[in-house]
Structure formats: C-alpha cells, structure tokens
Chain A
C-alpha cells in the first residue's frame, strides 16, 4: 500500500479494501464517459469522488450499481471479482445507492417504498406491520428521523433523502454511494446528513460521496479521487489539500473561485412585485404574497431550497404563468396582465431554469432558436415572410460574442453541451439589450468554465445599470453575485440579508425559521 502511495502522488487505502474498480471503460457512441478508471475504497472510509458535470462520476457509479454495463474493466468486492449485471446483483453484494434524482414513489408510504422488492411476508401477503417496525428500528438506530406511515409525496426533500438511505440500509448495504446528496439540502440539513454518514462509517460502512462542491468534501472525506474527462486525474488525502488545488485538478487549469465584483451603482426600481400570489400546476399557492423590488445596477439574489416557489415566481415575473393576485411592475408600468411577449417588448429578458425544455427548442437550429422571440420583427421578418439569411447572420454574431461552441448557426440546439446551450440562451436574451434580466438557475448543470463566463456576463450587465433578479439553488452563487439576498421559503420571502451573511444565518432562513429582527 505504501508503494501505491508514492506512485504518482496517489493516496492509497490503509484499511482493508472493500471495493475496487479496475480499468473501467464505458463509451456512449464516440464519447468515452469512463476511460480506464480505477478507484479503491477502504472499510470505514469516506471516499470523495470529485469532478465537473459530465466528467463521468455518475456513469462510473451507475456501472457499479449495475445500471450500465462497462465495455471494459472489473469490479472487486472484498477482494472477490464481482459480476454486476443489474441492481439486484449490486444489492446482493451489499452495494446501496442514493441517487441524485430520488427513486422514491410519491404515491406510496415511506415503509412501502423502503421494502419494495424485498417485502416482508406473512404467508402470501405483505406484512405491512413488520415493514413499519423494521423502518422504525433502522431510523432510530442511525438517527434518520422519518415516519414510516407518511406518504413520500408529503415529505420534505431532506426527509426523502433519509428514506433513500434507509432503503439502502434495509437491504443491508455495506457500501453506500451517494450521488450529489447535498445539492437539494440547506446547510443545516447537509450538516445533519454528514453526521449521519459519520455514524454509518463508525458502524463499519464504507461510503462513496459524489459531488462537484469542493468545500464540503474536505470536511468529511478521508480521500478524494478527482475525475476529469472520464479519467482519474489523481487521488489525494483530504487532509493534505485545499479548495484551490482541488479546483485546479478538477478543471485542469487555474480557476477563479471568487468573482470580482465592482461597487454597485444602484439606480431606480425597474422590476417590482407586490403581494404576488401564484398557483402551482396542481393548484396550490406556490407563491404566497411575495413583494420584491429590483433596482437598476444591482443583482437581487433569491436563495432557497428547491421547490419553495422559485419556479412559479420566475414564471409569473416573466409572464409565462398567470398571477392569481398581486401586481408586477416593469419600469413603473403595471404589466400584471401583459403576456410574456409584451413584457419582453418592454425590455425584460428571461433565462428560464429548464433550458432544455423552456429555453430552447432542441430540434431547431441555433439560428432558429436565436430568433425564437423576435422572428416576427425586422430584420427577421417583413410582410409575413421570414428571412433565414438574416436570422443566420445575427445568430452567428451572437454565438461568437457569447462563446457558444460550436458557433455554427445551423447546429441543432440539442447537439450542444449543457454549458453551451445555456450560453446560447444567454446570447439570445442579452443581445437585445434588455433593461431587466430574470436569470433562473443560470448555471445548473453547467461546467465550471461556462459558469465563470455566465457569471462574468451577469456582472457586466449589472455594471451597465441593468436590474437583475438571480434565482439559484447554489448558495455560493447567490452570495458571490448578489448585492442583496432574499430567502424564499414556502412561497414567501422570509428574510433579506447581505451577501456576507453566514451559512447559519442563511440556512435558518432557508429552513423557514425566521429569527427576530430579520422577520419580513
């Protein structure tokens, strides 16, 4: 083992190895998602698996769990070669997985979800009483609080994650893989999760933690394996590294972790909402009386855990979802009854959170997508005819200006990577020189390089006196870009803080606990 450590700066395992993946290669078409990847996991260890979106972390873990079959490579569990063809094989080898997108069934209860596929029986019937009892025992033992009788649909995201972990433990998992577990949690929930993980490890379990967040890995993992472009770059001891070094390894070049922000030159109010109430698709009040004001030259950040009304708020402000009651004002004008097209004509740009479904038409070319909102205006159209040549010329300019790769106006939008798709959306929305910008999750699922670019663009618009509303689940992003941070919880703004607020302060607000003078 000590030999391994010295070789190429690769940190070795000290405890007995419970899992080894050796030379795993998996290609999707011409793209190699994994290219000769090898990792080892020791008993009682937390291994961090770090990499950008699309680096191949999730592919590797899906291979481990039998959801993909590798083109090459082997898996060893407890030193024994393991043929893992489907999740059943993985489970029988003691491998459990908490997926990024939960695989729980909202319509079923917690206990039903946990025992699904390994049901306790009484004769031919399902022994629900035992399922509930088993769930309660497990949840008590590891401090994973959850009521087995509740329907999963009624649980918070944090609680759903606890159910996912319980599901793996119920199947006697000894190796637990968590895929981006903190993406949906408040800072406090993340802390709770990490203390549960420490307890599990103390109990003899081994954990692989996948993430693209640098900071949290340092605190909890023993070793960190960094993956870039489908290959292992290096494995380091968590105690002997720092965020800067990890970021360099992850991206392959020097990265600016902190954005440079100039002094805000705040102008008059440009976008405002009063007593805004918006219904969700299911008819519930997703936004429940929100008032806010964004002034020129500033970025107002909306922080909050996913599903607290962010989507509906953005859509109601952009005009793609009707307001049940309340007012939306754009440059002083009441636009509550004005549609999305009318608001855009009045200088509002909207970067929707789901670029795949709402930002772009995947099967259209980039030039068509670029003209999607202005196809009926000169120079794209005259007397009911559209002019593809003009569309293509304008698109080519915009794509170059916003560093979309490839800058080919005829490329199909769906063929681009997430980051480039997002830049294409930005190119369309910002090239019309709008006065107000709503950016919802502008960097979700986007690689670090593109994040840097998008952040710079937003800050440049701010410097030019534009009013920007930034809605994001990434606390770091909200904090580094915003001049003011409003926290949304359960459809209300529960508090407003400065960008230098602490994790604890923000976390409490994000969990809906309004404290003292910050009460809004």
Chain B
C-alpha cells in the first residue's frame, strides 16, 4: 500500500484537502435547498469565487482582501440565482446552469483582461499551512488533520455550526419549514421570499469558501475550470448525506477520499483516465444506491406564488 499510495497520513491529509471544498459547497447547497431552491450553480459559485480570491490577492497581496473578494463574488452570483428563482420564478435548474456557464465563460474572459492571458493565473500568496501546536504532533493523524490551512479549520467548525443553526435556532426552523411547505410558512406570517434569499445567499458565501480554498489553499493560482465538476460532486454529497450537515460532510469526505486516491495513485499501475473516473463513478453509484430513497425537502424546486 505504502509504495502505491504513500503513507496513510499523506493519504488522510490529501483526503481532507480534497474534501474541504466539497464540504463547504455541500453545506452551502444545504441552506439553499432546505429553503426550497435547487442550487446546481454551486459549481459556478465556487469557480467565480476561486477566481475573485486570486484577483484580490493579486491586487492587494493580502489574504484577507482575497477572502473578501471571494465572498463578495459568491454572494453576488448567488443573489443573481435568487433573483431569477425567487423573484422572477424562473426554472431553478436553468438558472443554476446559467450561473455555471456565466462563471465558466466569465472567468475565462476576465483571465485575459486581468492577467493578460488565459490558462493559469500568475502565482499569488496562498493560505499557508498553520500547524496547531500539540494537536499537530499527534502521530499520523496530527499532521494530516491539524497541519492545514485556516480554511480547513474553518470547515471543521462550520459543520457543527451549520447543524446548530439549522436545528437549534428559529432561523433554521423557518428555513426548513420554507423548503417543506411555503404555504404554511406564509400563513405563519413569515416571508417565503426572504427566507429563500437568505438560504441562497448563505449557499453563495459557503460555496465561495470552497472556491477560494481551491485556488489559494490547495494551489496558489487560478486555473480555468479548476472546479472541474466539484460543485456537482458536492451536490451529490448533499443528497447522499440527506440534506443534513453531518451526513453531507461525511459524504463529502468519502468523495474527497476518492479524489485523493485519484491524485496519489501511480499512473504506471493504472491508466490515468481510469483513475480520474473514480470520484465521478462513485458519485453515480452513491446516487443510484441512495438517491432514490433520500428524502428531499418537499417543496424543493418549486417557485412559490401567492394565490
């Protein structure tokens, strides 16, 4: 095993790194879908934020500015999705697809106008690894779990935090109720539209954390289409995890592991193309096995119109 995949600690560290953007995006998708808005635009939200973060870092040299850029980009694109789906009652799948295409084409175009060339951006200062004292010196798991970027630690915190928000606050109750039965929420005197805007906006913010981790946590540059389907894998993780933060994070870890295997396996042993299939095949298998039985929010995908 060791010769093929490297030390177990390395594989675990790589799993965490690959899972982090998926966890962020899946948690984001959860807020959107729990409010009743399908968000297949996660892919585009991550991509635009990955790009915006690099531009921020490129212009300022500051990681904080980069983060602000990424969050703003994710939020703006999410609000476009909300505007189309909630205010204009457009088809949510089409709107999400539009977000994805807009992000893909937009970043490609802006690459040329900002950096003068497409492909890969210049290197920027990324989020370095910040080992946590003591914890990081635990053998094997220590370095893998606790010698990572601050964004990874933020991900650790975000999983229980989103669980708490969803199940232990009035906001969470209202959000869940909105995704289940907007009519009931409306008669309870709560604005369905506002709850959905909140849900989609949160999905944009969380997805943007996943995006910036891709470009500035794992790499230190932006590459065109660097999300490469991760938004859709996050969506699968969300469904696989039954729209629950803990479940979605667990599923994201599984997919992260599949990605880690893909990257660390030696290419002489197994054809590269075959390896690269693994996460996607796993996604399909997981959805086929559990997707049908997963219980989606009852009102998901349907625009709410008052009589």
A positions within 8 Å CB-CB of B: 62, 65, 67-68, 86-88, 91, 97, 99, 103-108, 112-113, 115-119, 121, 124-126, 128
Q: A68-B307, A119-B173 are in contact. Are A86 and B168 (CB under 8 A)?
A: no
- Asked whether B307 lies within 8 Å of A126 as measured between CB atoms, the reply is no
- Alpha-carbon distance between A104 and B188 when the two chains are bound, in angstroms: 10
- Alpha-carbon distance between A505 and B262 when the two chains are bound, in angstroms: 69
- Alpha-carbon distance between A55 and B298 when the two chains are bound, in angstroms: 32
Residue in B closest to A99 when the chains form the complex, CB atoms: B187
- Asked whether A87 lies within 8 Å of B180 as measured between CB atoms, the reply is no
- Asked whether B187 lies within 8 Å of A112 as measured between CB atoms, the reply is no
Taking the closest CB of chain A, its distance from the CB of B83, in whole angstroms, is: 22
Residue in B closest to A65 when the chains form the complex, CB atoms: B187
Give the residues in chain B near A87, CB-CB below 8 Å. 186-189
Please report the number of residue pairs spanning A and B whose Cβ atoms sit closer than 8 angstroms. 68
- Alpha-carbon distance between A88 and B187 when the two chains are bound, in angstroms: 8
Contact for A126 among B170, B183, B185, B297, CB less than 8 A = B170
> Apart from A104-B181, A113-B184, what 20 extra A-B contacts exist at CB < 8 Å?
A67-B187, A87-B187, A87-B189, A97-B187, A103-B181, A103-B187, A104-B184, A108-B177, A108-B180, A112-B177, A116-B173, A116-B190, A117-B185, A117-B188, A117-B189, A117-B190, A125-B164, A125-B169, A126-B172, A128-B168
User: Interface 1/0s, chain B 278-307, versus A by CB < 8 A?
Assistant: 000000000000000001011000000011
B positions within 8 Å CB-CB of A: 164, 168-170, 172-174, 176-177, 180-181, 183-190, 295, 297-298, 306-307
- Alpha-carbon distance between A105 and B187 when the two chains are bound, in angstroms: 12
Give the residues in chain A near B184, CB-CB below 8 Å. 103-105, 113, 116
Contact for B189 among A86, A107, A113, CB less than 8 A = A86
Give the residues in chain B near A91, CB-CB below 8 Å. 189
Q: Is the interface of A mostly helix, strand, loop or mixed?
A: loop
Give the residues in chain B near A112, CB-CB below 8 Å. 173, 177
- Asked whether A105 lies within 8 Å of B189 as measured between CB atoms, the reply is no
- Alpha-carbon distance between A67 and B305 when the two chains are bound, in angstroms: 12
Give the residues in chain A near B174, CB-CB below 8 Å. 116-117
26 contacts between A and B (CB under 8 A): A67-B306, A67-B307, A86-B189, A87-B186, A87-B187, A87-B189, A88-B189, A91-B189, A103-B184, A104-B181, A105-B184, A106-B180, A108-B173, A108-B176, A108-B177, A108-B180, A112-B177, A116-B173, A116-B174, A116-B184, A117-B185, A117-B189, A118-B188, A121-B170, A125-B168, A128-B168
Taking the closest CB of chain B, its distance from the CB of A10, in whole angstroms, is: 31
Give the residues in chain A near B170, CB-CB below 8 Å. 119, 121, 126
- Asked whether B180 lies within 8 Å of A107 as measured between CB atoms, the reply is yes
Give the residues in chain A near B188, CB-CB below 8 Å. 87, 103, 116-118
Give the residues in chain B near A104, CB-CB below 8 Å. 181, 184
Taking the closest CB of chain A, its distance from the CB of B160, in whole angstroms, is: 14
- Alpha-carbon distance between A87 and B187 when the two chains are bound, in angstroms: 6
